[in-house]
Chain A
Amino acid sequence: MKKLALALALSLTACGAANLDDVIVRDARTVNNTAALSIEAAQSTAELLYRAEQLAVVERESAKPGATKETVRTAVEKVRSQWAPVKELFRRAREAQARLAVLLRAGAAAVEVVAAVGEMTALQTEIAKTLSEARSRLGG
């Protein structure tokens, strides 16, 4: 968040101080629209990985000698519990994006907008990291 605020501040020095707030809000609108799309795209990817990981577990566990529906279900539940924090991340990212949209519509102060952008982008970074970990688990 601090890095983003700093980057915004640095990029704005060339624009003059008079319209700093306008530039921040304009850029934040672009960030907000892009974020809405990228969160949705990331969630689609996450759902594919979530499904693939569970299917792989179902296949592996059901092939084991003595396998039952219960043993398969237990293994699948383990995958689901690993994904619980990821689902929560998406929920938080969607909320952060919605908060930013509300702030922009309400004409909030630039400092509030920058903080909201920082929060949202930090969550997006965290999402990207967890998806990369999930891909590694699947050997992708």
Chain B
Amino acid sequence: MLEALVKDLLKLIITNAPTLIPEVKRVVQQWGKAANAPHESWTDLIDHIEKDHFGQVDSDIDAKIAGLNLPDK
């Protein structure tokens, strides 16, 4: 539940303040090391931060192509 909340907050940051991403990444990395969290948990969070708006555009366009009335190949 807490992880979901953190992810939602990170998404808000990415959406509204991409210039904060490097700072947030630094904080997440520090937290991960200080909390001795499993490597994959904070790596996952960092990946989440890195995924920017351009990635969202790609997903939207991919969905649009998939919905085209054309043969696959």
Distance of A97 Cα from B19 Cα, bound (Å)? 7
* Chain A: minimal CB distance from B23 (Å): 5
Do A72 and B19 have beta carbons less than 8 Å apart?
no
Q: Provide the bound-state CA to CA distance between A58 and B57, in Å.
A: 13
Q: CB of A98 within 8 A of chain B? A: yes
Closest residue on chain A to residue B25 by CB atoms: A98
Q: Given the interface contacts A58-B64, A72-B70, does A98 sit within 8 Å of B18 by beta carbon? A: no
Partner of A69, one of B19, B21, B26, B71: B71
The verdict on B5 contacting chain A, using a C-beta distance below 8 Å, is no
Q: Which of B26, B58, B72 has the most chain A CB atoms inside 10 A of its CB?
A: B58
Whether A40 contacts B18 in the complex (CB less than 8 A), given A47-B54, A68-B72, A72-B68, comes out as yes
Q: What number of A-B contacts does a CB cutoff of 8 Å give?
A: 72
In angstroms, Cα B21 to Cα A47, docked, is 17
Contacts of B18 in A (CB 8 A): 39-40, 43, 90, 94
Q: Counting CB contacts under 8 A, is B9 at the interface?
A: no
Name the residue among A54, A80, A87 with the largest chain B CB count within 10 angstroms.
A54
Question: Which B-chain residue is minimally distant from A97 (CB atoms)?
Answer: B19
- B25-69 interface code vs A (CB 8 A; 1 in, 0 out): 010000000000000000000000000111001101100111010
Known: A72-B70, A98-B23. 14 other contacts (CB 8 A): A35-B19, A47-B53, A50-B54, A51-B57, A51-B61, A58-B64, A68-B70, A68-B73, A69-B66, A83-B54, A87-B52, A87-B54, A95-B22, A102-B23
Which B residues lie at the A interface, using CB under 8 A?
17-23, 26, 52-54, 57-58, 60-61, 64-66, 68, 70-73
Residues of chain A having any CB pair with chain B under 8 Å: 35-36, 39-40, 43-44, 46-47, 50-51, 54-55, 58, 62, 67-70, 72-73, 76, 80, 83, 87, 90, 94-95, 97-99, 101-102
